[in-house]
Structure 1
Amino acid sequence: MTPPPARRRRSGAPERSYPRRGAVRRAQMITTYGVGSLVAVDNESFMVTGIDSWNVAEAPTVFEHRLARALGVKSFRLPPASDGTSRDGVHVRRFPLWHSCPKCAVLQHVRQFNSPPGKNECGDCEEDLVPSRFVMACAKGHIDDFPYWKWVHRKNRQEGRAGFCGGEMRLRTSGKTASLRSILISCTCGVPEVSMEGAFSGTALSDLKVFCSGRRPWLKDAPDDPCSERPRTLQRGSSVAWQPIVRTALSIPPWSDGHFTRLQNHLDQLRQLYEEGNHGGIDIYLKALSLTEKYDFSPPKVIALLEAENQEDAGADGAATADSAFVALRKQEYERLIEGRAESESDHEDQFVCEPPRSSASVLTPYGVTGPMLVKRLREVRALKAFSRVDTPETRTDVHEAALSLRSMDWLPAMEVQGEGVFLRLDEQRVDTWVRSTAVAARVEVMRNNHIRMMRERSQDPDSVPESPATPRMVLLHTLAHALINEWSLDGGYPAASLRERLYTGETMAGVLICTATSDSAGSLGGLVAQGEPDRLRESLDSALDRARWCSSDPLCVESGGSGVGGINLAACHACVLLPETSCEHNNGLLDRALLIGTPENPSIGFFSEVLSP
């Protein structure tokens, strides 16, 4: 994760040598161990530093024009890899800084243990030190060591007293229970021994008059940021200690074209020539480029690509005035998935191949499914935009986005997944008729109200909470995607975690793309595309809907008035339609299988109730 002992720079000046501390996969640097996260390596704990400290000289560049424009950067970079011959690497720093010795039980700052050089052990006992299990953080992303001294002396110190008592703190575990009550802290100054019980309450630290320090240890030389947020005690490995904010986009024409991808590093110069109307200059530039790149760039094709790009940009800018930039991305993808791109019209470097199945899709008409498309080649870019702490970034909530770097950077860390998928739409007229049902609207309204209430409870400004995306159309498509992923994981041999949904919902959209979510061998073998053939898709729908009719938790599941976090689900649980969280865009929220198959009291509210056998 940090660079190995470095070679000399090209200029001849020696680089500083850093020890290596473990390794993680590149994909984990986006979703699990990104900037600001805590990584446990053996008996030590480290925090990943900001991207402005990374050595990305040899890290591959990832281009995705649409996503880069939406995020305000020029390009993306794969997290740098570090091996015995590379200078690349992700830097980390030790955190938390308070440690304890398992033998002598001393609890203090790591520098006070007099550890031998290059080792993290007690200088007296020669035992490996244990990093603090507890930290404090706030909703703005600041994080610091837990204030152990103030916690132990909270009833035995004068208000406003500066400095410490001069004693030595110790930490031990009674072993009677696994609760916080068994974690005991004492001080040699003579104060009574106290436990960690109550440290996780919302007012535990504020009652001690402990305020947020504004520390950002993942950013090198970052000054303390003034902060009025109330800090909270967290476990070092808690899921809310670091939550990634990831944005994704598909590569679609014209940006998926092989010509376009080869010209990524030269687009600024070509765009300038195009805007000046200097087509002759483009021809000369491409001829000179062909001599170095050893690739034949066709000037008419490049000009056509620039024209298409200009039109797409103009259309996207117009859409972004009413909707967010990311909604505009989805609309562009939806249109391209409907339009398709035949394999015969693309070359082997094209990153988007989408065509209709060979057999007739009329067998899907009774299900209200129309226009299935087989996405035989697909590229998705996932970029880490920021991260949050304490507050979980639920659907469209206003969590604070902690920055990945201290200074502005023109790139973000990202990964690309190349695979395949199946895209299908629901008949718009049939959906509109079904949405007008009073019973359907009433069920979705319950979910919507629960979601809005949850967002207001977690929001810093309850009056500015955005509208919930829960609509009958969205919940229907979302639950259908989950049912199909579960079915294909059983019938098609795919692990559920290797498939991922991509929803296209709105007034003019009613589609879902189910694609491979990983870049391993399950990603591009053609098995998922085969599931999109109409006959097999009909069988999958029959089987998925039949499974959805009965859950092992029924009747509790189907009669639920609210389940999941904040009660934003209705008839949905781990025994029926929930998925691994990596496969779901909405953290397993806003689901209701009753909208697929109906309820025992009212089967007609199910969109597919007419095709279900009695």
Structure 2
Amino acid sequence: MTPKDQKRFKVGELRPSQALTTFGVGAIIDLPNLSVMVMGLEDWPLKDTVEIGEQRLLASVKEVLGAQVAALRSAPVVPDTHQVNQFDSSALVGIPVAPFPRWMVCPYCRRLAPLGGGLFKLETPYRTDQIRYVHANCTKPGKPPTVVPARFIVACKNGHLDDFPWRNFVHGGPTKCQGGLKLLEPSATGEASSIYVQCEADHGLGYRDGKPVLLSRPMSDAFKMDLQALPVCKARRPHLRDHDECGCKTPIGVEVRAEPMLQGASNSWFGLTLTALAIPQASGKLKQLVDDHWTILEKVQSEQNIELLQAVTPQLRDLAEYTPADIWQAVQTKKTAVPDQGGDPSDLKTPEWEVFTDPGSAETGRDFQLRAVPPPKRYAKYFEKVVLAERLREVRALVGFSRIESPSDYDNPAAFPPNQRARLSRKDPAWVPASEIRGEGLFFHFKESLIQTWVKKNETLDGRFFEAHQRWRTARKLDPPQDFYPGLRYVLLHSFAHALIRQLSVECGYTTASLRERIYSRNPGEEQPEMAGVLIYTAAPDSEGTLGGLVSLGRPEALERHLDQALDNVRLCASDPLCAEHHPYRDGITLHAASCHACLFAPETSCERGNKYLDRAVLAPTVETGESSELAFFR
């Protein structure tokens, strides 16, 4: 928008968690009449955000983005205490956006022009959801038609995004021509080969039936990368309103060429998020409560401040049984304590593994409560224990985003190449967007000796997955190709999690997309002890995540029935024998074996590795392996 048009209009609604997972900084959002891009953190209204406390996650974010990050904050939200008047200032609270792409098309006359060219006019009606741009001078009689975004853009793997170079493309290179452009679609198929860009200024450049014709070019030429139809990436960052000062080059200094992309392409934005569960870090109930409310208590300067906060802050009601003097003493102790330098801040799963494998030593709190139960009798030889997580709190933080290449190719988002991680702000951020979810879950602790014996027995399958892993990374030019291979034990744990999620969703009261996995897998020989566990928990950001339906299925008598049914379901698939015969490597296209949407795949919100490293044959015999197969872990 121009400075004259830069007004705050509320045009849509998102859930707070969507500001991290789907429509975060740099993502494109389709509104009723236009598409917009979420702006960088400098434009976010800080006064409307709420600080979220989770020290482990904050330390991991600092490891990625720098020590200047001081807080995790929620997206700007309006309290749900009363009905907001649309004329009140609180109705304007939200995430800032700007129109993108800037090139628009008139659906009637097919005129193609940028918003800054003055051809299209912004209309702001009474209903803010009807904000639109119109072609006031269109030849269409009556009401001016609403223009729509041109659905072609360009992007690169370094996170840059730009409008499609329409003029240079139709002219086959750099040009000074300022003639009018049209985007013609003579066919209704919508294919790129049936869409043409036409320049109206150049007559006589070609002849058809003996008559001069206008210069035009099919959009299919843009997708023929061998012709190099598109220019070098300009390193534009529209969410920051600037261009990258370092330019756009590969690590070895080669200039990157922009790639064509559709506006609504699923690979136009991938959020890089770090996730941690809020687990007790202090010994003693009072110390743990101080930790839980540290975002408020760290600012107090005296005992009188605590008395005042207890009177006006509902969040501190958990501390009502303690005197202000006791609380002040605990706050001083925490402030003067020497920070624990042990452990890797980027390793978020190891502390959680230690708590889940020893639930009796964990401090119980408002957001964390564990209860160990014996495994079902028929499965006692496979599991050390089953833990019911009756209360959980998950916190996610957005540390960047990528385009074209998904971060699920890496075992940890923090390992994503820094040159391909797009920035959230022009300067190093002092805070990052975060969200918290409260829910419940089931934790399965596998027997380590049994896992190691099974992996050693199936080294052939391990080699196949390793080969597929290398082909996958080689096809995407990820070096070195052997890095980040999770091992065959991860395939087993991952496949088990997907099979159980699909089964539990039938009866627990949650949809499949509302359940999420957290895999604890570490192979022998690494720096820390081995891990073999699966946590299945609710990932819904609303009250659905606290109904108790998932924990109720963790009782031994109920869990045995669900495990039986989950393993029986993976024996056969509606796509057999094609599914059962699928190999994990096929020229780097796939990274899974016997699995598909009909049997083992899970929604994107549920899986932490993008439905890769899956094979139902490691759980139970299939039509390919046969009943006598030694590959199945559960027998």
Alignment of 1:143-292 (within 5 A): 143-154=161-172, 162-164=175-177, 166-175=178-187, 177-188=189-200, 189-190=202-203, 191-204=214-227, 206-208=228-230, 210-221=231-242, 225-227=246-248, 228-254=255-281, 257-267=288-298, 285-286=302-303, 288-292=305-309
Deviations 1:433-459 (A, max 9, x none): 21220xx22112211221122123324
Closer, same or farther: CA 172–248 of 1 in aligned 2, 3 Å: same
Structure 1 position 577 matched with structure 2 position 600: yes
TM-score (norm 1): 0.84
Query: Aligned with 1:448: secondary structure?
Result: helix
User: Comparing 44-53 with 393-402, which one deviates more in the overlay?
Assistant: 393-402
Closer, same or farther: CA 604–306 of 1 in aligned 2, 3 Å: farther
Deviations 1:171-209 (A, max 9, x none): 1111253311211221212243321113123345x345x
Q: What residue is the counterpart of 1:64 in the other structure?
A: 54
Shift of 1:225: 4.6
Separation in 2, partners of 1:414, 1:503: 22
Closer, same or farther: CA 375–297 of 1 in aligned 2, 3 Å: farther
Structure 1 position 510 matched with structure 2 position 508: no
Closer, same or farther: CA 297–509 of 1 in aligned 2, 3 Å: farther
Separation in 1, partners of 2:44, 2:7: 14
Say which of 53, 75, 79 aligns to 1:79. Answer: 75
Shift of 1:340: 2.0
Shift of 1:121: 0.8
Shift of 1:341: 5.7
Query: Aligned with 1:174: secondary structure?
Result: coil
Q: What residue is the counterpart of 2:16 in the other structure?
A: 26
Shift of 1:99: 1.1
Separation in 1, partners of 2:338, 2:628: 46
The 8 Å contact of residues 234 and 243 in structure 2, kept in 1 or not, is answered as: no
Closer, same or farther: CA 469–535 of 1 in aligned 2, 3 Å: farther
- Cα root mean square deviation, aligned: 2.8
Closer, same or farther: CA 263–488 of 1 in aligned 2, 3 Å: same
Q: What residue is the counterpart of 2:440 in the other structure?
A: 420
Separation in 1, partners of 2:538, 2:550: 8
Closer, same or farther: CA 292–577 of 1 in aligned 2, 3 Å: closer
Closer, same or farther: CA 53–128 of 1 in aligned 2, 3 Å: same
The 8 Å contact of residues 113 and 122 in structure 1, kept in 2 or not, is answered as: no
Shift of 1:601: 6.9
Q: What residue is the counterpart of 1:351 in the other structure?
A: 367
2:432 aligned partner, one-letter code = L
Separation in 1, partners of 2:326, 2:485: 43
Q: Percent identity?
A: 33
The 8 Å contact of residues 451 and 566 in structure 1, kept in 2 or not, is answered as: no
Separation in 1, partners of 2:361, 2:332: 21
The 8 Å contact of residues 97 and 145 in structure 1, kept in 2 or not, is answered as: yes
Q: What residue is the counterpart of 1:541 in the other structure?
A: 563
The 8 Å contact of residues 57 and 88 in structure 1, kept in 2 or not, is answered as: no
Q: What residue is the counterpart of 2:127 in the other structure?
A: none
Structure 1 position 329 matched with structure 2 position 356: no
TM-score (norm 2): 0.82
Q: What residue is the counterpart of 1:496 in the other structure?
A: 512
The 8 Å contact of residues 64 and 75 in structure 1, kept in 2 or not, is answered as: no
User: Comparing 526-535 with 181-190, which one deviates more in the overlay?
Assistant: 181-190
Deviations 1:289-337 (A, max 9, x none): 23443354576677679879999963xx4332xxxx33x2101001111
The 8 Å contact of residues 481 and 514 in structure 1, kept in 2 or not, is answered as: yes
The 8 Å contact of residues 236 and 242 in structure 2, kept in 1 or not, is answered as: no
Structure 1 position 379 matched with structure 2 position 404: no
2:571 aligned partner, one-letter code = R
The 8 Å contact of residues 290 and 297 in structure 2, kept in 1 or not, is answered as: no
Alignment of 1:386-535 (within 5 A): 386-396=400-410, 398-399=416-417, 400-437=420-457, 440-459=458-477, 462-463=479-480, 465=481, 467-506=483-522, 507=524, 508-535=530-557
Q: What residue is the counterpart of 2:634 in the other structure?
A: 608
Closer, same or farther: CA 115–146 of 1 in aligned 2, 3 Å: closer
1:289 aligned partner, one-letter code = I
Q: What residue is the counterpart of 1:8 in the other structure?
A: none
User: Comparing 82-91 with 184-193, which one deviates more in the overlay?
Assistant: 82-91
Separation in 2, partners of 1:203, 1:392: 24
Query: Aligned with 1:484: secondary structure?
Result: helix
User: Comparing 487-496 with 571-580, which one deviates more in the overlay?
Assistant: 487-496
Aligned length: 557
Shift of 1:520: 2.7
Closer, same or farther: CA 302–260 of 1 in aligned 2, 3 Å: farther
Say which of 129, 136, 141 aligns to 1:123. Answer: 136
Closer, same or farther: CA 203–553 of 1 in aligned 2, 3 Å: same
Unaligned runs of 5+ in 2: 63-68, 79-83, 124-131, 139-143, 204-213, 249-254, 312-319, 525-529
Say which of 604, 612, 615 aligns to 1:592. Answer: 615
Closer, same or farther: CA 266–311 of 1 in aligned 2, 3 Å: closer
Deviations 1:452-492 (A, max 9, x none): 221233245x24x5623331211111111111101111233
